[in-house]
Amino acid sequence: MLILSRKVNESILIGDEVEITVTQVRGTGDQAVVRLGIKAPRDVVVLRREVYDEIVAATRQAAQAGAAADLARALLAGEEAPPAPGEAGAEEDAGSGGSGSSEGAG
Amino acid sequence: MKGGNAAVAETGTAKAVGQKAGPSTAQGEQVFTFPQGLYGFRELRRFAVLTVPGGGDVLKVLQSLDSPDVAFTLVAPNPFFPDYQPGPLSPEQTRELQLDAPDQGIWMLLAAFPDQDFRRATVNLKAPLVFNPFRRLGKQVILEGDYPVRQPLFRKQEAGRGADSQPQGQ
């Protein structure tokens, strides 16, 4: 990692279009807080690291569509938060398997 | 003379996602390209938008065609969060999605299911997906502003935030 020292009101450029300026330094040691001003084109995403990490984590957590069919069934039934937790084994097709489920009864 | 600007008539509804989108596979899938992938999945570019039985336009599945294990549940924001207004897109985003106008994208939310329990479903309001169903392009956008990353989909959950560790039933 490149490490530079800057004073208040000094800045660094990243490429031609991104400029980061130190605007204020408060406190010392672990309590120090640095305020930065950032100039960047609109298509450059500027995020606090923890926000980015949270979005990555949430997106990874979403990467399993397993409950989609359950959710669709619940929405179809018009229920907001239906009772009766489903058995762990019966997720895909079973639903509320009452009596016969033959499709092509002929 | 730009002919056939059918896109204009269709904007603003979740209907268009996965329905009006050009060629489809034998199963009726609509293939979308995410030129930049999704956050945490930068390398995955091609996805099929699948219908879910009973899901209509509100619920879709976004299945990676590059990695079969990766699939997302998409939820249309409007039925759940009528006041949610993510747009309009920036000029750069509009160009990237090849949209004619910044308000023509179709928004969908990524849903997550803690413990595979759909009743605890949350959606990401901070980083939704936006689609151009006509060009079959998609993008995950991080919104400015204070949107929750894990917003409960069902209201009943909101009261019991701290009760996560309490197993329900039995």
In sequence order, the 6+-apart residues with CB closer than 8 A to the CB of B108 are B14, B17, B60, B62, B74, B75, B76, B77, B128, B129, B130, B131
Q: Is A49 helix (H, G, I), strand (E, B) or coil?
A: helix
What is the model's pLDDT at position A35? 97
Count CA atoms closer than 13 A to B154's CA, side-chain side.
19
pLDDT at B124 over 90: yes
At residue B162, does pLDDT exceed 50? no
DSSP A9-24: T-EEEETTTEEEEEEE
Q: What residues are paired with B31 via a beta bridge?
A: B48
- pTM summary value: 0.71
CB contact under 8 A, B119 and A57: no
B2 CB neighbour count, 10 Å cutoff: 5
Res A48: pLDDT: 93
Check residues B29 and B33 and name the one with the higher pLDDT: B33
What is the per-residue pLDDT for B151? 95
Look-up: residue for tokens 């099929």? B48
Q: What is the pLDDT of residues A21-76, one digit of tens each?
A: 999 999 999 999 999 999 999 888 899 999 999 999 999 999 876 677 777 777 76
* Longest CA–CA separation in chain A, Å: 84
Neighbours of B58 (CB within 10 A): 20
Chain B residue with minimum CA distance to A93: B53
Nearest of B92, B168, B138 to residue A86 by alpha carbon = B168
Mean pLDDT across chain B, nearest whole number? 79
Residue-level pLDDT at B17: 56
Structure tokens at B82: 């009528």
Answer yes or no: do B118 and A67 touch at CB < 8 A: yes
- Select the more confidently predicted residue: B87 or B31: B31
Q: Using the beta-carbon criterion (under 8 Å), do A69 and B52 form an inter-chain contact?
A: yes
Q: Check pLDDT > 50 for residue B112.
A: yes
Residue B1 distance to chain A (closest CA, Å): 30
Assign A94 a pLDDT band (cuts: 50, 70, 90). Answer: very low
pLDDT higher than 70, residue B165: no
Query: Which residue in B38, B39, B166 has the most chain A C-beta atoms within 10 A of its own C-beta, making it the best mutation to test that interface?
Result: B39
Instruction: Report CB contact under 8 Å: A67, B71.
Output: no
Which uninterrupted H or E stretch holds B71?
Answer: strand B71-75
